[in-house]
Amino acid sequence: MQRLYAFIRRHPTWVDSFWAVFLLGVSGVQYAAGPVGGSEHIAGIPVLIGLCTAVALRRRAPERMLVLVALMGVVQLALDVKPSPADFAMLVLIYTCAADGKRWASRLALAGAVCAGTLAQVRWPSEGTQSRPQEVFLAVVLTVPFILAWVLGDSMRTRRAYLAQLEERAARLEKEREAQAKVAVAGERARIARELHDVVAHNVSVMVVQADGAAYVLDAAPDQAKQALETISSTGRQALAEMRRLLGVLRTGDARESGEYVPQPDVEQIKELVEHVRTAGLAVDFQVEGTPRPLPSGVELTAYRIVQEALTNSRKHGGPDVGASVRLVYFDDGLGLLVEDDGRGAAHELYEDGGADGQGHGLIGMRERIGMVGGTLDAGPRPGGGFRISALLPLKPAH
C-alpha cells in the first residue's frame, strides 16, 4: 500500500486521468442508452469530452479547466443537454480552483457554485407539479454540494498557507539560532583569547625576569638563583593550570569530569597575585579600602585581570627599581581600582594606540573587559613619571 500511495503522490495527473476515463465511461453508457438523434444528443458528446478533459488536466491548468467547465455548462444550458455523471467535473473544478487556483479563479468558482444549482433547477425542473417553496428548497439542496466543495477547497488553501508560514518561521528561527550560536562562539573565542593573553603575558614575563636574575647571580649567590628557579617552577605550574582551565572549555566537559577544573580568579586572589609579584622582584604596596563583600563573578574576574595586566606592564616597561601600588576601594555601587607605578612607563605611542604590551593588546583587552561589565577605564602617564590605571566597575551591568 505504501508503494501505491507513493505512486499516486508522484503521478497525480495519472490519477486524475483514471477518474476522467471512469466518468467518460459512465456518461457514455448513459448517452448510449438514451434516445438517438436531436441536437441536444449530438452536442452532448463534445460536452462530455470537454468535462472529462477538464478533470484529467485540473492540476496542470486549473484556471483554464475552470473556464472550459463553465463554457461546457453554458453549452448545456443553451442546447438543452441534460445533466449527466460527467457534470461531477464542475464540483471537482470548483474545489481545485478554491484550493490551488489563482484568486480570480477562486472567485469565479464561488460564483459558479452559487449559480449552478439554481440554473439547473430553472432549466430542467423536476417532473411533477411542485409548489414554489418546493422548487426553492430543491434549488438550495442542489446548491449546497457546490458551496461545500468551494468551502473545502478554500479551507485547504488556508491550511496550506498556514503550514507554509510555519515552515518559513521554523526555517527563520533555525537561521537565527545558527546566527546566535555563531555569535556566542565568537564571543567565547574572544573571551578565551583575552584570558590566554593575560595568563601568558603575566606568567611568562615573571618567568623571563626570574630566569635572567638566576643566570646573573648563579655563581655569586646560588641561594638566590635557587629561589628564582623555584619561582619559575611555581609560576609555570600556575600558568599550566590556568591554560588547562581555559582550553578545557573547548572540550565537551572533560575538565569538569576529570576533576581538573580550576575556578576563575577573584578579588580575594589579588593579594596572592601581589605576593607573587613581590617574590618576582617588583615592590608593590597593596591597600584595600571599604568593606569587602561578595561581588558578581564577572566583576571579580575583571578586577583580577586588570591588576594582573597592570603589574605585568609595570614590570615590563617600568625600568629598573620600579615600585608600584595597588588600591581596591569598595563603594556602595561599585569597585574602584587604582594601579600606579613610578617607573619610566611605556612609550607614548603604545598607550595612545590602545595597548602597552608591545603589540597594542594590553589596554585594548582591559577596555574590552571593563566594557563587558559596564565600567570605565582611565589609563595614561602619571604626573611626575610612571603610569596610572584607574577603573570603576559597577556592581550591576549597564543597560
Tens digits of residue pLDDT in 237-246: 777 776 776 6
What pLDDT does 238 receive?
A: 72
Q: What share of the chain is helix, strand, coil (3-state, %, to 5)?
A: 70, 10, 25
- Which set of grid coordinates corresponds to residue 319? 625600568
Q: What DSSP element (H or E) covers 21?
A: helix 12-33
Put the strands of the sheet holding 334-341 in their side by side order: 283-289, 323-330, 334-341, 387-394, 376-381
Strand, coil or helix: what is 223? helix
DSSP 104-120: HHHHHHHHHHHHHHHHH
Which candidate, 193, 121, 112, 202, places its Cα nearest to that of 150?
Answer: 112
Contacts with 47 (C-beta within 8 Å, 6 or more apart), sequence order: 72, 75, 76, 81, 86
For residue range 273-299, list pLDDT tens digits in order. 888 888 877 889 999 998 888 888 778
Contacts with 83 (C-beta within 8 Å, 6 or more apart), sequence order: 76, 120, 124
- Residue 17: φ, ψ to 5°: -65, -35
pTM of the model: 0.49
What pLDDT does 251 receive?
A: 55
Largest CA distance in the chain: 136
Profile the chain (399 residues) by mean pLDDT over runs of 10 residues.
Answer: 74 85 85 59 81 90 91 88 86 92 91 88 72 81 91 92 92 89 74 68 72 77 79 76 64 44 73 85 88 84 87 79 90 90 60 43 75 86 86 72
What pLDDT does 257 receive?
A: 42
Q: What DSSP element (H or E) covers 338?
A: strand 334-341
What pLDDT does 348 receive?
A: 46
Is the separation of the CB atoms in 174 and 149 below 8 Å? no
What pLDDT does 201 receive?
A: 66
Which candidate, 310, 309, 322, places its Cα nearest to that of 282?
Answer: 322
What pLDDT does 14 receive?
A: 85
Query: Crossing angle, helix 362-372 and helix 132-217, to 10 degrees?
Result: 140
What pLDDT does 70 receive?
A: 92
